[in-house]
Amino acid sequence: IRAIISRGQSSLGGPETEDVMYLDDCPHGWLFRYVAVVIRHSGTGTTACGLLNGRPTLIVPFFGE
């Protein structure tokens, strides 16, 4: 798996492939321990969790943020 997309409460995504896995709501504190980098929207909770887990993060804001 090269990418894990956390849908949260949205219906984001398409079919899973051998490279992409989609998750419904998932605790970031657990997930971020297992990833190399976090690409996310600009939420403060996600920012803090990425920093606490020592993961590099890239912010890609959604419309209106």
Assigned domain for 19 exists: yes
Residues of the domain holding 9:
3-59
> What three-state secondary structure class fits 12?
coil
Assigned domain for 64 exists: no
Assigned domain for 65 exists: no
Overall domain count for the chain: 1
Task: Tell me which H or E stretch contains 23.
Answer: strand 20-23
Q: What is the pTM of this model?
A: 0.72
pLDDT in tens, the chain (65 residues): 899 888 777 777 788 889 999 888 889 899 999 999 999 887 888 889 999 999 999 998 876 65
